[in-house]
Amino acid sequence: MVEMVHRIQDIICDAIAHLDSSTFREDKWTREEGGGGRSRVFSGGHVFEKAGVNVSVVHGILSPEAALRMGGGNDLGSDNLDFFATGLSLVLHPHNPMAPTVHANYRYFERGDGLSDGSWWFGGGADLTPSYLFEDDAIHFHQVHKTVCDRHDIADYEAFKSWCDDYFHIKHRSERRGVGGVFFDDLRAESKEVCFAFVEDCASHFLDAYLPIIERRKDMEFTAQQKEWQQLRRGRYVEFNLVYDRGTKFGLTTNGRIESILMSLPLTSRWEYCHEVKSGTDEEKMLNVLRQPVDWLKR
């Protein structure tokens, strides 16, 4: 898993750097309590306002608070607070409001011995956050992920798609963060090898899911008003990440590297009091989908 996340980080960064004609800044960091990571970020690119692709390999002793926030290990109780975690996490925020933000994460956790049942698990997923809805984009993104899931007996696209909608839920707004994708956690069926094969397959197809979308949206024309709507949606992204995201909370309570954790935040965002979208507009069309998730592959 450690080898895989580094290899996929290289592949994804090469593709994104090429697309953007930009170079990632790389920061290698270590964590006092054990482990470290390799963060790659650039901002103010040609296509992306901000792009971050991070890997980390950390270990130590969980606080009981952090243990509660993990996706698995629930049957271990409050003993066995030793942990090992590795993963890749990426967020790409394009400039163009017609081009969606994307987030992906592939991770492996161990608590305690990492051998007995319940002491190891995988998690991950990818989700798409447009400011303007292009149904073709949502369908393509979901289709790539369904195709990967269908190759693995332990993966259930329908369940992982619903889990994604449930997870990226900004409860206080009654909105989802975006048009979803897949999300899974506490994955520990069959064997580590079987689970790993699925997670590696997901990570290996991230670019297939996103590149065609960004290619066709990055140079579209847009108005100042559309850019402002994107900024308001960026504000919602910030709300989700700071109020609900488990990865962010986990990082903030385990003395993670703050700049790597918060690289997921957009470069700029906006909050307008009581903003309302007009009936029949593209903004309303987007909001309707965020309020009522769609089964993109069943339409």
Interface positions with a second copy (CB under 8 A): 25, 27, 41, 43, 50, 52, 171-173, 231, 235, 238-239, 242-243, 252, 258-259, 261-263, 265-274
The nearest distance, CB 64 to a second copy, in angstroms, is 16
Phi, psi of 30 (to 5 degrees): -125, 155
Sign of CA dihedral 190, 194, 247, 128: negative
Nearer to a second copy, 65 or 113 (CB): 65
Q: Which of 46, 95, 103, 152 is catalytic?
A: 103
Distance in Å, CB of 205 to a second copy, minimum: 27
- A 10 A CB-CB count for 216 gives 15
100 with 79: CB under 8 angstroms?
no
Q: Considering the complex, what minimum distance in angstroms separates the CB of residue 255 from a second copy? A: 9
Specify whether 103 is catalytic.
yes
What backbone phi and psi angles, to 5 degrees, belong to 240?
-60, -50
Nearer to a second copy, 93 or 161 (CB): 93
Minimum CB separation of residue 46 from a second copy in Å reads: 17
Q: Is 240 exposed, middle or buried (0-12, 13-18, 19+ CB in 10 A)?
A: buried
Residues 6+ apart with CB under 8 A from 47: 19, 20, 94, 95, 96, 99, 214, 218
Q: Which is nearer to a second copy, 40 or 142 (CB)?
A: 40
Comparison of 86 and 241: residue with beta carbon closer to a second copy: 241
Contact between 31 and 255 (Cβ < 8 Å): yes
Alpha helices, DSSP H only, in 41-128?
64-68
Catalytic residue IDs: 103
